[in-house]
Structure 1
Amino acid sequence: MSELSSKAIESNAFYINPDRSVAVINYNEEYIQDVFQLINSQGFYNLVHLYLDESQLAITNKVEGLDAKTYISILKAILIDDKDNYEKYDNEQILKSIEDFYSYYRSYFRVSLINKHDSAIAKSDFMNIDNHFNEVVIHLYRAIEEKLQGFTNRTYRQVNAGTNACVLTQTIKWDTPQKYQSLESIRFLDTLMLRPPMMMHTKSNKREGTFSEVFDNPIEKFDGTQKDWYCFPAKIGESLTFIYFHRDYFVSGIALANLFEVADRESIAGQKPDEILLFGLNKTEGDVSHYYHDEANNIWIGEVPYNDKTTYFGYMKKMCLTLHNLHMIYENHLPIHGSMVKISFSNGKTKSVVFFGDSGAGKSESIEALQEVADDKIINIETIFDDMGSFAFDEKGNVYAQGTETGAFVRLDDLSSSVAFNNMDRGIYLNPELKNARVILPANTYKHVVEHHSIDMWVYANNYDAEIGLHQFPDEEKAKATFISGKRKALGTTDEIGMSTTFFANPFGPVQEEERTRPIIDKVFNKLYQDKVYVGEIYTHLGYDKSKDSLHESAKELLNELMNN
């Protein structure tokens, strides 16, 4: 792999990479059942070795100069009350070091794996297996801590001491074209157990640029092994997508579980995917992200290089959506960059509203402002899709909307504190202390997301004009011009700042296939205007007014329009 992995250390059962702050524990290779097995394991030795090398406290503390073998012998002596072998060290210093070592391990994103085929353990037991490992880790820490301090604790905190997530994997035979045989040995994630709230940290916190086409199939560069690569099989809308990722990207690979439906065995076996993503290739063209259309096999392939920049989850999510949207355009569906909500009002009305616009335009802020000004006039707001959906035509020629994701990937700054805190027990938080901090929250069931939803209103989130309120476009040409121009004032959520334009406000598919997208846009607008669907814009004012007072005024107009017309 890349030189970025050079610090990684591996034993049969334990892989740890300080460059990526990722640790992977394979229970099939070795299952730790008690503290003595843990402290004598090769994985524990490797962890201690890394800790002594990397921790500032370990370097400056009195344990400076100790090697891993000596450090572990001190811990063993403490466990069995062999004071002769640890009393020469200062108890206070050792205790500080133990606290630091425990925190060091928990600063990693830790994933445990069980492969179903190599294990007689029933699927229903895998969580109990992982829970037991967590108990062993916390027991080792507490036993040493309490012996050193000379008394038992009065307060215990049941933290995720061992792992953040546990995954069942399996090998499934799918309809593999000849060219893709190198992927056959890579195991699929089957069932995932997460321990939220999950606080994850990555070296990068922003996505840059757009994805461009290449004319050589990225599969030719794939040389991954069963040990270092895994596949998250995702249902994205009605597409089947195989997301292959290097294990150093487990943060993103696990985070997908809050965003997309995991495809089951029946959906994979004997099937050919619509899209394949290879995430973490050693080399890509120009070392940036690309896509390729394998027309012979009708598969869209994405390639993303292994580097610090691509650790940001947005690269994985947006490449998946780009591949899906390109597939949709070729199926004559229109990809929509926006949010769709179904709102139930106290007067008995229900309306489906699509908010449209590029990143930072104010789509999710508009929905939140609507909730804040509604008081008791809104009974419920159901999210159909949070970031990407598509418009299509049914057999009768009517336009319907359909979602892609079952979750929402949103900036923490965009959420009120009540929403952020109320969902904490389900959330995956990415770099929560930094600018552009994100949270991934489950939003709806896959079954409901892919239903055919009618559209009552479609509004462009306009964050660049000084007006306040809601504006309905009198004719389809004026509406189309605004939606196609994709103007916005970029707020630094990507690498853009200031006024920008993006074709149809969607750099994930329509930009790459503008010529194919334009006729679908014409057809959709024509039908919506025939059916007298409200098409307009909401002035979010976010390019001017950070207080959101103006947005609340616009939300009041929106509320009035939805309830009374």
Structure 2
Amino acid sequence: MSQSLQPIDTPAFYMNPDANVSVINYSEGYIQDIFQLINSKALLGLVKLFLEEQKQNAANDVVQVTPEDYVAILKAIVIDETDKYDQYDKDKILKSVEDLYSFYRNFFRVSLVNKHNNAVIKGNFMDIDNHFNEVVIDLYRAVEEKLQGFQNHTYRQINAGTNASAIVQSIEWPAPAGYEKLQNIRFIDTLMLRPPMMMHTKSNKREGVFDAVPDNPIKKFDGSRSEWFCFPAKIGESLAYIYFQRDYFVSGIALGNLFDIASEEEVKGKKPDEILLFGLPETEGDVCHYFHDEANDIWVGEVPYNDKTTYFGYMKKMCLTLHNLHMIYENRLPIHGSMVKITFSNGKVKTVVFFGDSGAGKSESIEALQEIADEKIVDIETIFDDMGSFAFDKNGEVYAQGTETGAFVRLDDLSSAVAFNNMDRGIYLNPELKNARVILPANSYKRVVMHHSIDMWVYANNYDSDIGLHQFPDEEAAKATFIAGKRKALGTTDEVGMSTTFFANPFGPVQEEAKTRPIIDKVFNQLYKDKIYVGEIYTHLGNDKSKDSLKESAKELLDQLMNN
């Protein structure tokens, strides 16, 4: 990441303008009132960065003073010593205060509290954070109203202090030889989010395919306790320790809407199935890789620190790649798709898996089905939104299982009703840009990892001109389409135009094709033996942006599900 304004870095307050991230550590210093705030080193550091940014603003002499003098002006305003700032125009002071307030709130701001095995902290950390928010907004309003000479008639209770808060703690786990440096990094125990959260990153698209490296990335890790944190995630039935450098707190916090946090009991004494090191100073070729530590049975991923990897897709897809590789080695088949359980008004309940690579029309098919069904659908439950796996029970029957408890979807794919109805729960990423995304909670962990039977499995075909639904007559015909993984890419990654991806899944099967093929054969053989509907739905999204054709296809899908 390029550097311009230098970060402020103290034990209690970190602010990096380049990464647009600020971290406030309450355990190192907690501000309880406006007088502590106005006298704090944190505020002085913030003012320093703000005034550096305002250097070119020659029209306002107030922002040309030293940070110390600017804070002195704020103090004089609060205690009504007007003679100490009457040489400046009040409107110019007010404008600078408004700009300072906006400058601070433009950062993604997260507060930390060390747990120290203190149950009181866990119960009160939200109150602690709420109070800090009140202190920040109280200081701003005190200065604003004194300068304008009257009280406001409209107050907006915004997130003035922080966007999120986290309880963090150290937990002992059996780190194998070579992994000892990770023992010092604190785990996230509990998160508090303030949605709707509008987050902005320098990158808004994912590129390339993750590949294997011959050496364990853990050898490159030398992160400090103050700069690195771990999100212990339950991904399907896997346990993943996701370590990230603090400038990636946007992605680290956003994980809270995608995966369940493993509890202290689920982490203590447990070796993870997967470890991700996100934000290493350098990686081989400066891209994302993974390594299978067979001796310790751990999949280790590495992601470099740069502008490109600020896009949340890197965090999500690297986690899922590691998980899927683990699944393949467990003789399970990773599925790139969406699974829903639909309850119809006629009493029928059907589970449907929509399969395909990014942009094929999986989510859009579900939404089209909802739109044309009217009162015929009572409920649609999302089992998984992007990635799941097929496995075999003790009787050899195929069942499906999800990975994420949330959904990471393009805003363009959602109807305005769905987008707005979920605003109070959503984490929005670059909402003003193309490929804008939202992360929404979708289902409980318990429901996601249950063993779900499969009634229908359809490939989302966005490239052919046909309309409707097509059932493959035999498993060979079905496998040919599913394995080819064709789609017309829509620019959500670095691909545009027709493309093919082995089994429509560049996150595991592509990397381990030889190991995946026998599992594919076994799954299709069993599904056809059990007479499960395997087909394709023509979404037309590679050509027809109106979605009228997709709705026609959805009508056939509805008829098939309700009447067969």
Q: What TM-score do the two structures reach when normalised by structure 1?
A: 0.99
Once the two structures are superposed, what CA deviation does each residue of 1:463-519 show, in whole Å capped at 9, x if it has no partner? 000111100000100000000000000000000000000000000000000000000
RMSD value, Cα: 1.2
Mapped to 2, the partners of 1:161 and 1:337 lie a distance apart of 39
Q: Do the aligned residues in 1 keep the contact of 2:355 with 2:460 (CA within 8 Å)?
A: yes
Paired AA for residue 76 in structure 2: A
Q: In the alignment, what sits opposite 2:470?
A: 471
SS for the counterpart of 1:38 is helix
Q: Does 1:232 align with 2:215?
A: no
Q: Do the aligned residues in 2 keep the contact of 1:28 with 1:119 (CA within 8 Å)?
A: no
In the TM superposition, residue 57 of structure 1 has moved relative to its aligned partner by 8.1
Q: In the alignment, what sits opposite 1:76?
A: 75
Q: In the alignment, what sits opposite 2:539?
A: 540
Mapped to 1, the partners of 2:481 and 2:555 lie a distance apart of 23
Paired AA for residue 349 in structure 2: T
Q: In the alignment, what sits opposite 2:105?
A: 106
Q: In the alignment, what sits opposite 1:380?
A: 379
Instruction: Show the 5 A alignment for 1:272-287.
Output: 272-287=271-286
Moved more, 119-128 or 538-547: 119-128
Once the two structures are superposed, what CA deviation does each residue of 1:85-122 show, in whole Å capped at 9, x if it has no partner? 11111011111111111011000000000011186843
Mapped to 2, the partners of 1:332 and 1:318 lie a distance apart of 21
Q: In the alignment, what sits opposite 1:251?
A: 250
Once the two structures are superposed, what CA deviation does each residue of 1:44-88 show, in whole Å capped at 9, x if it has no partner? 111000011114785542324211111101100100100001111
Q: In the alignment, what sits opposite 1:460?
A: 459
Q: In the alignment, what sits opposite 1:489?
A: 488
SS for the counterpart of 2:231 is strand
SS for the counterpart of 2:157 is coil
Mapped to 1, the partners of 2:5 and 2:460 lie a distance apart of 46
Mapped to 2, the partners of 1:179 and 1:386 lie a distance apart of 36
The number of equivalent residue pairs is 564
Mapped to 1, the partners of 2:335 and 2:487 lie a distance apart of 16
Paired AA for residue 544 in structure 2: D
Mapped to 2, the partners of 1:6 and 1:213 lie a distance apart of 36
Instruction: Show the 5 A alignment for 1:337-416.
Output: 337-416=336-415
Once the two structures are superposed, what CA deviation does each residue of 1:396-450 show, in whole Å capped at 9, x if it has no partner? 1000000000000000000000000000000000000000000000000000100
Mapped to 1, the partners of 2:55 and 2:557 lie a distance apart of 55
Q: Do the aligned residues in 1 keep the contact of 2:55 with 2:63 (CA within 8 Å)?
A: no
Q: In the alignment, what sits opposite 1:271?
A: 270
Mapped to 1, the partners of 2:268 and 2:447 lie a distance apart of 24
In the TM superposition, residue 175 of structure 1 has moved relative to its aligned partner by 1.3
In the TM superposition, residue 12 of structure 1 has moved relative to its aligned partner by 2.3
SS for the counterpart of 1:184 is helix
Distance 1:455 1:59, change over 3 A: farther
Q: Do the aligned residues in 2 keep the contact of 1:57 with 1:97 (CA within 8 Å)?
A: no
Q: In the alignment, what sits opposite 1:27?
A: 26
Mapped to 2, the partners of 1:90 and 1:472 lie a distance apart of 75
Moved more, 381-390 or 87-96: 87-96
Mapped to 2, the partners of 1:551 and 1:500 lie a distance apart of 21
Q: In the alignment, what sits opposite 2:121?
A: 122
Mapped to 1, the partners of 2:236 and 2:476 lie a distance apart of 29
Distance 1:377 1:15, change over 3 A: same
Identity %: 75
Q: Do the aligned residues in 1 keep the contact of 2:200 with 2:429 (CA within 8 Å)?
A: yes
Moved more, 81-90 or 113-122: 113-122
Q: In the alignment, what sits opposite 2:334?
A: 335
Mapped to 2, the partners of 1:226 and 1:5 lie a distance apart of 25
| Unmatched 5+ stretches in structure 1 | none
Paired AA for residue 163 in structure 2: N
Q: In the alignment, what sits opposite 1:160?
A: 159
Mapped to 1, the partners of 2:204 and 2:56 lie a distance apart of 27
Q: In the alignment, what sits opposite 1:172?
A: 171
Paired AA for residue 405 in structure 1: E
Mapped to 2, the partners of 1:182 and 1:287 lie a distance apart of 22
Q: Do the aligned residues in 1 keep the contact of 2:5 with 2:17 (CA within 8 Å)?
A: no
Paired AA for residue 39 in structure 2: N
Q: In the alignment, what sits opposite 2:308?
A: 309
Q: In the alignment, what sits opposite 2:423?
A: 424
Mapped to 1, the partners of 2:117 and 2:515 lie a distance apart of 47
Q: In the alignment, what sits opposite 1:262?
A: 261
Q: In the alignment, what sits opposite 2:61?
A: 62
Mapped to 1, the partners of 2:75 and 2:5 lie a distance apart of 30
SS for the counterpart of 1:51 is helix
Once the two structures are superposed, what CA deviation does each residue of 1:531-556 show, in whole Å capped at 9, x if it has no partner? 00000000000011100000000000
In the TM superposition, residue 6 of structure 1 has moved relative to its aligned partner by 7.4
Paired AA for residue 103 in structure 1: S
Paired AA for residue 81 in structure 2: D
Mapped to 2, the partners of 1:480 and 1:308 lie a distance apart of 39
SS for the counterpart of 1:147 is helix
Q: In the alignment, what sits opposite 2:440?
A: 441
In the TM superposition, residue 5 of structure 1 has moved relative to its aligned partner by 8.9
Instruction: Show the 5 A alignment for 1:508-547.
Output: 508-547=507-546
Distance 1:289 1:60, change over 3 A: farther
Q: Do the aligned residues in 2 keep the contact of 1:58 with 1:97 (CA within 8 Å)?
A: no
In the TM superposition, residue 7 of structure 1 has moved relative to its aligned partner by 2.0
Moved more, 93-102 or 477-486: 93-102
Mapped to 2, the partners of 1:510 and 1:149 lie a distance apart of 63
Paired AA for residue 78 in structure 1: I
Instruction: Show the 5 A alignment for 1:172-211.
Output: 172-211=171-210
Paired AA for residue 229 in structure 1: W
